[in-house]
Structures are given as C-alpha cells and as structure tokens.
Chains A and B, each alone.
Chain A
C-alpha cells in the first residue's frame, strides 16, 4: 500500500465520519442556539432515525425512501414532543430540560425495544451504493464517498436555508434576541417548535446514514450523545459553522489518531476538546460565556 493511496483513503474516511458527526452536531447546536436548552434526547432521535429507516427500507424496499421518510417521522416526533411537553417548561431553569430530555431518552429506548425488539437490525444498501471503487489500487466503499458528499450537500443546504429563507432569518433573529422577534409580531413559539423538529430530523437523517455502517441497535443512543456534545462544545454552542468545522476536526483526529496511536484512540477526541477549551473557552466559534 503506497503512502499516497493510504493518505487519500484515510482522508475520505475522515470526511465520511465527519458527515455523520455533523448531522448529529448541527441539530443539537441549532436547538441550543434558539432555545438555550441541551437536548439530552438527541442520541435517542438519532437511534429512532436508524430504526425508522430500517422499517422504511422494509416497507418501501428502497434506501432512498428511508432517507426521505425517516427524517420526516423523527422530526415529527421531535416537534410533537416540543409542542406537548417542552413548551410547558419554558421559564424554568435548565435542570428541568435536562431531566425531561433524559427521561425521553429512556422512554424512547424502551418503546424502540418494544416495537423492534432487542436484536440488532441489518439495513442493506442499494446496489448503487454497495460497491467499491479503486483509489490508487486501494479499494474504497462507494457508500463512504456518498456519505461524505451528502454531508457537504446537507451543510450547504442548511447554510442557504438559514441565510436565504424567511424561516432561516427568523431562526437567526430568535437566537440573537427572542424577545425582540416576539415584540415585532412573530410567534416565537412556532419558531421553536420548527427548530426542534428540524434539529431532530437532522439527527434522524444521521441515524439512517449510520445504520448501514453499524446496524440499527439499542446501543446507538448513548454512544451518539457523547460524540454530539463533543462536537457542539468544540464548535461553540449555537454556532452552525462551528459544528461543521468541529465535525471535520474530530473526524480527522479520530481516523489518523487511531491509526498512529491506537492505544489512545478514545482519549484523542477529548484531548482535542480540552485544547480548544483552554484556548477558546466558548468553543471555536462560540460566544464566550
């Protein structure tokens, strides 16, 4: 294996990892930006995405169908949760949200266990994505290329959505000064529900994308929620661009760190976080609290 081939394939691996991390991190950071709450259930929405994706593949027979259906269902569940429960808690301190979203994680875990059972589920890839390409004689899965590409496309779409649409404008405005937006005659509560739904839907897409790589399983939620927090803390709470940069950084650190220092595979991501927090306590692009 020559070095250039190794370098290119590892960089692509890192980018595909970054894409998965980005889907998780960006949803959480959007929610935090608007609502100033930490959604502990984000990992559970990610897991729900994987399971709904599994069923969607079973029903529609198509992975593409799952990519459309799962975020809609997961986003819907998220929005319903905001409307039904979270809405009653605004005005209380942060602990209430921590408790209720943590509770939701447990409830969702059990509901998923009841519906889909304990066994891990296989989500097969469509033929188009299951092949390999050769990069300088190194086999590389097409799916990972697709994943990296999808990450970039979704990031651009979110960016354009935030910059160019009316809802995007409202979201940015609400994250800066919710009371002013409210005073100018916008129903801020509706913006909150929408953002919570969109954030959860993004986690749901992440779940569908991850399922063919790791299978849909009950261990997904606790694993994902830790990575997500690391991304959001490195990027800066509430910063969209920050979470994108953090996802890429963490992706590269994980892939190359594991290769050169396998004994410290787990520690490297946290070392990166520590380093960022020492230099910029609010995260790379966050406001220093």
Chain B
C-alpha cells in the first residue's frame, strides 16, 4: 500500500513535470518527439548582393516548406533544420560556405546556390562531401550536360528549356520579323544566340540585335534602334536594374504600341518595380501563382495566409524542389546519399506545376513550360502575369545531357 502510493505520487509528479516542460519548452520536446536526429539541409545562397533578391525568395520557399513539414510531424518522423548561409553570389565564397555546412553542421543535403557559376563551382565537390544537391533555380545547361555529376539534381526549368518555350510559342505566333536586345556578357550573348538559331529554324526573319553594357541606365538610344529596325517582336535578355530601367523607359516612349516585347523571365518583383510599364510584356516564366491545379491553389492559399503576398517565381520553384527532395526521401526512407540517389532518379510528383518527373539519365526534372502575358484586369491595382500558353515537358526538355534541340 505504502509502496503503491509512493509510485503513484512519483507517477503524478512525472506527468506534471513532463506537462510543465512541454508547455515551457515545446520546441525541445518536439525535437525529441520527432526522433533523435534531425534532417539537416544546408543552404548556401546569395542573400545580399545583386542576386540577393532571388536568394531571399529561395530561402522563403524553403522555410515555408520546412515549417509545413515540421508542423505535420516531420519527414520520416524527423525534424527538418535549414542552415542558410550568405554567399553574396561569389563562387569561391559559395564553395567555402557549402563546405562549412557540410563539415561543421553535418548537412548531407544541399539547397540554394543562386548563380549557376556558384553551382558549377560546388558540384565537383559533392562526391567528396558525400552530399546531394537539389537545385531549384540554376539555369546553366551544362549542369545536366557536360558538367553533370551523380549527386546533382535539377528540379527547376533550365535556361535552354526556358528559351525553347519562347521559340515554340513564337513559331505558332503570327509575328515574322524579330530583333533582340541583350546584356553585354555571357548570358546575354548566349541566349540571343540560341534565339537567333531558333528564329532561323522557324524560317522567320531575324533583323538584328544590339547589346547594352551591364549597368546601362539610359536606354533611349536602344529604344530608338529597336523602333527603327521595323521588327514586330523584340526579344529581351535583361535582368535586375537594367531590365527595370529598360521597361520603364520603353513605356515612356510607348515602344510596346509598335513592338511586342518578349522577355526570357517574367517575375513579380520586376512587375512590381516598374508598375504599369510592364503591361503587354510577354515571356516565359518558371512558375506563376495563377497555374490552375489543386496543388498550386492550396500552396498559394497557404502562402498568402502566412506572408500576406503572392508567391513569386523562385519561391514556387524552391517549393517544388523541396517537394521533389521530400518524395525521394520518403521513397528511400533514408537520407543516405547512396539510398536517396536511386529513389530521386525515379521520383515523380504532383507538383504545383502539375506532373514533374525526375529523369535518371541526367537528373533533369521534366516539366511543363509557361508563356505569360502581363495584364491589368479592371479593378486591379497592379499588373499581373496571365498564362497565355502552356507547353508539355516532353516538347521543351532537351535530349539527355544535351543543351540544344534538333528541330
């Protein structure tokens, strides 16, 4: 009797103590409830510098997914922890930060790396680190081509796929005369070159092109050149401040009354930055909040509830990359790279962009591509991108480890 009451008292004490600590230290308890070892994911990415805006979006997307998964009991019952580190967009810093999260923090999974130059610097090290990198925004075709490594996976649309979407769209459009304006460095020349080839394949008229130095502030002369060319379409390969400056000034000169402007990237940030000057702009986009499927509707609703804003391009792309990694981990029931790799190679998800399937031969996710047109519906305060055309994944994905298209 005595002993019994003793036990009971101890039991009551124990329960009370557990309850109290649960109340004051819920995260610690949660960590225990979700298993001894958390799943650590390193995210070296540019949070400051010219690419910082994209990096911030990617971090938002990853944090949103992390909270969503942890709130529903974790992944394989384990808590997810993100280790974000600012690389400022510098490849050497990126390699160092990636090494830090791998060796110091013990991450075997990586997200992030905003610039392709950063990703290209990191991928040769993945085997040595025994780490898997799931890309959510790297565009360079070489990552799934000549620079392919088995531990690299690309959940997003690549640069060549983006250009392909535009060229397929232009083939079926009524336009016949084309001009191009690109930023005067590798990306600009590369994309304009691909565009020129595609126009030639479509047997349409390529009138010419001009390149503006990075950091150009006054585009009046370029606008004059575009007007004088007599082209019906001008293809733009501009980004960041240069893109915003061009669009604002093109609007000033009413350029789009005469020429259809087509860009390789339409994102909400730049629409927000230039306001009504973006109306009429057409182009490909990697993700847009208005994609019509149940997964995306649920995602956009939850996102709006949390951030009181619409998810932008790289937020959506990052969320898709997270879901792809999640599908792989759930199938492999492990984060051990040797078990995860084969599971990811056959991973296929109902993503916010519809069906997205990883391809084993080059680790490129096959997915649909979108053309959007920026419009301002009656009553809206800001212009929004509306989907104009959709192209299925098998038409826009190059052959395995290739960067170009044969037809």
Contact = CB atoms under 8 A, between A and B. Distances in A.
A97 to B, nearest CB: 26
Interface in B214-235: 215-218, 220-222, 224-225, 227-228
Interface in A1-25: 1, 6, 9-10, 13, 16-17
A258 B228 contact: no
B260 interface: no
A122 B274 contact: yes
B280 interface: no
Interface stretch (B160-168, B199-207, B237-245, B371-379): B237-245
A76 interface: no
Given A13-B220, A120-B241, A213 B249 contact: yes
A1 B221 contact: no
B272 A141 contact: no
A254 interface: yes
B218 A255 contact: yes
Contacts of B60: none
Given A118-B52, A118-B53, A213-B245, A258 B221 contact: yes
Contacts of A6: 224, 228
Contacts of B212: 262, 265
Interface residues of A, number: 37
Given A223-B217, A266-B213, A120 B270 contact: yes
Nearest to B223: A13
Contacts of B228: 1, 6
A119 B53 contact: yes
A259 B215 contact: no
Given A120-B269, A121-B273, A254-B218, A144 B53 contact: no
Contacts of A101: none
Contacts of B276: 124
Among A140, A144, A258, residue most surrounded by chain B Cβ atoms (within 10 Å)? A258
Interface stretch (A171-179, A214-222, A272-280): A214-222
Nearest to A139: B254
Given A214-B241, A262-B210, A266-B213, A143 B222 contact: no
Contacts of B218: 13, 17, 213, 254-255
B213 A265 contact: yes
B212 to A, nearest CB: 7
B273 A122 contact: yes
Contact of B252 (A141, A210, A259): A141
Contacts of B217: 210, 213-214, 223
A179 to B, nearest CB: 41
B56 interface: yes
Interface in B143-191: 184
A118 B86 CA distance: 15
B254 A132 contact: yes
A212 interface: yes
B224 A9 contact: yes
Nearest to A255: B221
A1 B245 CA distance: 24
Interface string B51-89: 011001000000000000000000000000000000000
Contacts of A141: 252-253
A108 to B, nearest CB: 15
A137 to B, nearest CB: 12
Contact of A262 (B211, B240, B248, B270): B211
Interface in B270-301: 270, 272-276
A255 B275 CA distance: 26
Nearest to A14: B220
11 contacts: A1-B228, A13-B220, A113-B48, A120-B269, A215-B273, A215-B274, A219-B50, A219-B241, A220-B241, A254-B221, A265-B213
Give the 3 A-B residue pairs with the shortest CB-CB distance, closest first: A120-B273, A141-B252, A214-B245
